[in-house]
Amino acid sequence: WIVLGTVMLIVYFVTKKEFWKIKLSYDSYLFVHKKIPSEEKTNQFLTDLIETRNRYLRENYGSIDENLNYENQLINFRWLKSINAITKDEFDQKYAELKKTVKPDKPNIGFGR
């Protein structure tokens, strides 16, 4: 068992560097071999995958809706920026547009109405 364990450990460390490990949700991962079919095609696949993800997220979470809560929309924009789905300039533009379109809820503090 020791020999088999040692062989498997060596195989693991040798092949470990040949894969891209892409984190998905809930501690699951997608492993993509770096050189199959080729390194160029793999890189292009990953670039397309990230661009498609960003486009989907911008379409579904990056638009301003007057009927939705100000805070929730701001949280969505911050999240998109944190995962690099939008740039800082896009975030600043969305934030400025959000402030013009949807007024933030004023908290009722004290005894005033």
Look at the pTM and tell me if it is higher than 0.95. Answer: no
Secondary structure (DSSP) of 41-52: HHHHHHHHHHHH
Q: Which amino acid is at 6?
A: T
pLDDT of residue 109 exceeding 60, the answer is: no
Domain limits, the chain: 1-34, 35-104
**Residue 52 confidence class, pLDDT cut points 50, 70, 90:** very high
Give mean pLDDT, residues 30-46: 88
Give mean pLDDT, residues 83-109: 85
Tally Cβ neighbours within 10 Å of residue 59: 9
Asked if 62 and 83 touch (Cβ cutoff 8 Å), the reply is no
Q: Which residue has the higher pLDDT, 17 or 92?
A: 92
pLDDT of residue 91 exceeding 90, the answer is: yes
SS3 label, residue 79: helix
Asked if 86 and 80 touch (Cβ cutoff 8 Å), the reply is yes
SS3 label, residue 98: helix
